[in-house]
Amino acid sequence: MNLRNTINYLNEVINEPTTSFSKYFYDDIANYLDIDYLLKCSDDNSILEHLQEIITDDNKYNLLLNCKTKEEVKEWLDNIASYILKNIDEQQLIYDCLN
């Protein structure tokens, strides 16, 4: 497992041009994961500890750790963005925006 590659792939995918609505959530996901911190981590243990603190769903955590290619990382990220899109409370967002 090469976590540095996984984090670099994650950063690359997040920084690709936005081509779909769900990709607008990539920045939010990157901020939540604190991608800047992950990119600066000097060793895999620091990355693992940080991710384990943030990603509490063992399945999603393991899925990310098992990503070997940029395409797998993109698929993982797309699944998270899709989940956000499906579960977003647009009525609450509208209310919050207008009040």
Look at the chain and report how many structural domains it folds into: 1
Supply the pLDDT for residue 6. Answer: 92
User: Is 98 exposed, middle or buried, given 0-12, 13-18 or 19+ CB atoms closer than 10 A?
Assistant: exposed
Q: In terms of pLDDT, which residue wins out, 22 or 11?
A: 11
Instruction: List the domain range (segments joined by +) for residue 23.
Output: 3-98
Mean per-residue pLDDT, 2-29: 88
Supply the pLDDT for residue 1. Answer: 54
pLDDT in tens, 45-94: 999 999 999 998 888 999 999 999 999 999 999 999 988 888 887 787 78
For the chain, the farthest-separated pair of C-alpha atoms sits apart, in whole angstroms, at 47
Structure tokens at 5: 């590659």
Supply the pLDDT for residue 84. Answer: 86
Res 23 pLDDT > 70: yes
Structure tokens at 23: 């990709």
Res 22 pLDDT > 80: no
Supply the pLDDT for residue 92. Answer: 79
| Residue 73, CA distances (Å) to 36, 82, 95 in order | 17, 14, 34
